[in-house]
Structures are given as structure tokens and as C-alpha cells.
Amino acid sequence: MSDETTIGARAKEIRQEARLSQQEMADAIGLSLRAWQKIERNEGVPSGETLLQFKKVGVNPGWVLTGSGPRSASAAGEDNAFAQVDPVLLQRLGDTVQAVFVECKQTPPQRAITFEAGQLYNDLLNRVKDLRDTGMVTAAIEVLRREFKDRLTAAQPGTGKRSG
């Protein structure tokens, strides 16, 4: 498992280990160069469809998103919760993070939204055994939302740090 903490850092690590240019990597997974560069710069959470493109180069999309689980797409297997990222769930978590920031009257950089959505995804995987159980997912998201809001409101003003 990588010690990189962002989607962009993990994407760049994959590309560099493959000894590919940004253009070559973009071509390999079916993205434009600009789209790939945005991923490496952590400019937004890639869509579920984009994350699934990492399978084309043998990388588990769940690992790209969260840094958890097997890095290899083949090691993830079809029945593993990390094998595929649900694009609807990913968008829902991103929307949840954005809404909490707005409620707390904060305007975070896009990379903070990306990071927090990934954190919520990890937390959700730890709390819900089957992501297809929509009732459990909905209940868990509400709990995670409240916990995230509590963390934001407990942050010390002016430090730039949230308490964890």
C-alpha cells in the first residue's frame, strides 16, 4: 500500500512507476492530457467512470480513490468491495462534503473536497459491509456527515488545521 495521501499523488506514482509521460498515461487509460493533468494536480474528485479507466493499466480504481485495498486490479477481484467504485456513491459523498463546508461557511480548495470525499469513502467501507445495502449506506452517510461537520466546527480558527 502506498503512503501517498491524495488521489493525484497515487496517480502520479502509478504513471512514474510505469515510466510513462503524462500524455502516454492519458492515452493508456483513455483520457485527454488535460484531464490527466487535473487528476495529478488534485483538481476535483475524478468521476467513477474516470476511476474505472485505471483498470486498463491494471490498477484497482478503489485503491486510486482511497489508498486502501489491493493496488492491483487483478488482486482486487470482482467480488471485492474495492474492485469498482460506484460513481453515484462517489458523487453523493462529494456532494455531502461540499454541503457541509457550505453549512460551516467555509470555502475549501477543491483538493480538500477531494481528500474529504476519499476519507468519507474509506469510513463508509469500514462501517458498511455491503455497499449495495442502500438503507445502511444512507444511514452511515448521515452519521459520517454529522461527524465531519463536528470536526469542521471544532477546528481552531486561524490554524488551518481541523481536529481529528
Proportion of the chain in helix, strand, coil states, percent, rounded to 5? 65, 0, 35
Query: Would you say residue 143 has pLDDT above 50?
Result: yes
C-alpha cell at 66: 482511497
Q: Which sequence spans correspond to the domains of the chain? A: 7-76, 87-154
| pLDDT tens-digit series, residues 15-56 | 998 888 999 999 989 999 999 999 999 987 888 888 888 888
CATH class of 7-76: mainly alpha
- Alpha carbons 144 and 99: distance in angstroms, whole number: 13
- What does the pLDDT read at residue 4? 66
Look at residue 68 and give its three-state secondary structure.
coil
- Alpha carbons 62 and 87: distance in angstroms, whole number: 11
User: What is the average pLDDT across 131-137?
Assistant: 86
| pLDDT tens-digit series, residues 105-129 | 999 888 888 888 888 988 888 788 8
Q: Following DSSP, what letter does each residue of 125-148 receive, concatenated?
A: HHH-S-TT-HHHHHHHHHHHHHHH
| pLDDT tens-digit series, residues 49-108 | 888 888 888 888 888 988 887 777 765 554 444 446 677 887 899 999 999 999 999 998
C-alpha 143, offset from chain centre: 19
pLDDT-derived band at 159, boundaries 50, 70, 90: low
